[in-house]
A and B are shown apart, each in its own frame.
Chain A
Amino acid sequence: MTFVFAAAPVIPNFGGGSARFACERANRLLCPNWVSRNWSTVLWPALRQHVELTLIAVAIGFVLSTALALSAYRRHWLERPVLIVTAILYTIPSLALFELLEPLPGLGLSRTTAEVALVSYTLLILFRNTLTGLREVPAEVRDAARGMGMSDRQSLLRVELPLAMPAIIAGLRIATVTVISLATVASLIDNEGLGAPILSAISNEVFKTELIVAGGMAVLLALMADGLLVLLQRRLTPWARVRAV
């Protein structure tokens, strides 16, 4: 016997015919009651997971790419291979990368898989920006540091890295926003983050309120993160403010 829906079933059959769920049943664009009822159980946890996913990915990506950039800064031959590999990773569409990682041993449908993919998208941006920032430190400045008796290490930590800071933070900014964006797709793999309510709303007969609210939260989160990093950039590099448009 095959099971056939008699009629398009109403979006989760909200409490039969009660007037309380009239908005949900009509699938209006925005049902405030639905939002307030599901904020603490669906939306807020999704937002928190999304922030966690992003912070972990950006932190790991930052450590990895800074190490790579510092190595390539001293050993020029490293630059090209790292760029090629990270560029290929960056080019692979997110949907494909998540699926390609899934069958690998130890990954599967888990947060680890999501994080591995998200980290791999940050590498090219962070590596390139950090390296470019370091390379653009004027030679005279480096010579001056040397002339003051600084060792390579001191010059790097006290002179070159601070001067490269605007480029490094610009990279962090792009990487963070990129991860926030891709983490919505990661929900396909680990069923968390703001992509999860979006996907469930789609499979739930296109429940509009959830689509708009979860989608809107993802957009707002990215815009806010971008804004915060701009502020951080101004804080950390006050000397660059004069140049800013």
Chain B
Amino acid sequence: MNNFLEAFRFIGRNGQVPGAPPLPTLVHLTLETLKIAGIAMAIALVIAIPLGVWLGHIHRGSFVAINVGNIWRALPSLAVLAIGVAFLGIGLGNVLLALSVLAIPPMITNAYVAIDGVDQDLVDAARGMGMSGWEVLRKVELPVRIPLIFAGIRTSALFVVSTTTISALTGYSGSLGDIINNETSYHLSGVLGAAICIAALALIVEFALAGVQRMLTPRGLKLAGGEDVSSALVPIVGEST
């Protein structure tokens, strides 16, 4: 247990090892991890959400939208990163590409399933009120399905944070994973400290996104007792087959 005590001391020293030259601080590495994960998520969001929502809105492409989610789950992140390194070399480009590729499918599948499954009566009522297709999407379909769409975003975000740290194993330097990959400089206490930080970071991201989800969910849905927050932790894609 002494190791864990030392790990917390390491965190207290902001990632410095006594007697060693100054190392990148924990705060810096945490921010870098968030930056890489954030960029990858932004790229993936811009591609996946409009595509999934649009396919769901026109009720087309279910085969692609669902299977993309199934194949995604079968992609080992380390393998994807490794194959990317072989083609593109070690660097931010490869990491961002791999992360985006891994982040897109759950968001497409969830957005598609969400919008495609909107109660047809609701859509008919909106149409009857004279709404255009675009208005139906914006005022009815999207708001009632925010929780499900967001579940996909959370699945991806968690996966991206986790995979960002794994990118250190493929030689990319610039995330909390660096510390884990460098036990010689950081010793076991540093590795443990970094592991604690990574675990905490993932839990914080998860809770923060759960909070955002609750803020975005229309009040009416919350009163109806719609989505349980904990239920979104597991990829909902899994229930499609």
Interface residues of A (CB under 8 A from B): 29, 83-84, 87-88, 90-97, 99-100, 103, 124-125, 128-129, 167, 170-171, 173-174, 177-178, 180-185, 188, 194-195, 198-199, 201-202, 206, 208-209, 211-212, 214-216, 218-219, 222-223, 225-226, 230, 233, 244-245
Contact = CB atoms under 8 A, between A and B. Distances in A.
Interface of B: 3-4, 62-63, 66, 70-71, 73-80, 82-83, 85-87, 89-90, 158, 161-162, 165-166, 168-171, 177, 180, 188, 191-192, 194-196, 198-199, 202-203, 206, 230, 233-235, 238-239, 241
B192 A99 contact: yes
B170 to A, nearest CB: 6
B73 A201 contact: no
Given A218-B79, A219-B79, A84 B199 contact: no
B166 A95 contact: yes
Nearest to A178: B73
Contacts, number: 165
Given A92-B199, A129-B238, A211 B76 contact: no
Interface of A is mostly: helix
Contacts of B170: 198, 202
Given A206-B89, A218-B79, A96 B165 contact: yes
A92 B90 CA distance: 26
Contacts of B70: 226
Contacts of A125: 234, 238
Nearest to A171: B238
Contacts of B180: 95-96, 99, 188
Given A103-B4, A103-B188, A201-B82, A96 B73 contact: no
A209 to B, nearest CB: 8
8 contacts: A93-B198, A94-B166, A103-B3, A185-B169, A198-B79, A218-B78, A222-B75, A233-B241
Given A100-B196, A177-B74, A206 B86 contact: yes
Contacts of B74: 177, 180-181, 219, 222-223, 225-226
B90 A206 contact: yes
Contacts of A185: 77-78, 166, 169
A99 B85 CA distance: 24
Contacts of B83: 211-212, 215-216, 219
B76 A95 contact: no
